[in-house]
Amino acid sequence: MLVLTAFFAGSSVALAQATQAPASPTLLVLGDSLSAEYGLQRGQGWVALLEARLQKEAPSVKVVNASISGDTSSGGRSRLPALLSQHKPQVLVIELGGNDALRGLPIAMTQDNLQAMAEAGRSAGAKVLLVGMQVPPNYGPAYTRQFADMFAAVAKANQAELVPFMLKGIADVPDASQWFQADRIHPVAKAHPIILQTLWPPIKKLLRLK
């Protein structure tokens, strides 16, 4: 009887310790084709490169890429609640909005969707990184400015980290054409290490890596 009592007591302690053990941190990427390896071989996109880097520097971090080519901010907003419930991320990277501009959707609608996603992430206990995009000058100066300001406004309202322009060093250089696929929208494989270099500092900060 004493042996059984000791066994069950020990099992209870082990179970309690297992229950209290911190889960491995999860980083969730919610994006579109720029994060979904569109036109690339698997493993060449910036998210895959991030996962490989974290395997070396912080192997306990799990990366979940929930990006879908062609997705809009509305699509991301509708998918996010289930993703948050399933993966319970510590960090949420939102890379959406570019397809909204390509479709000519109202900026106010995109901003409302981004705001809702940032709020949902924070409410679920995740730290948020908002990845901004810029549109070409042919959209007009007013639209171009308002679109860029939208990301900054959402980030400020939610105390989120912000990368103002995901394609910095790729789309804003004199030889930009060499960094893009034939559609002139999606970066080629050699551009993705640069994208990761742009996104790494805030990701490292949110994961509290040295």
The catalytic residues are 33, 183, 186
What sign results for the dihedral spanned by CA atoms 112, 196, 102, 174?
A: positive
What sign results for the dihedral spanned by CA atoms 97, 98, 103, 107?
A: positive
Q: Which distant-in-sequence residues (6+ apart) come within 8 Å of 130 by Cβ?
A: 94, 114, 118, 151, 154, 155, 158, 160, 161, 162, 163
Q: Measured between alpha carbons, how far is 152 from 11 in angstroms, rounded to an integer?
A: 51
Q: Measured between alpha carbons, how far is 152 from 106 in angstroms, rounded to an integer?
A: 17
Q: For the chain, what is the total number of helices (H) and then of strands (E)? A: 7, 5
Instruction: Beginning with the edge strand found earlier in the chain, give each strand of the sheet holding 161-163 in spatial order.
Output: 62-65, 26-31, 91-95, 127-131, 161-163
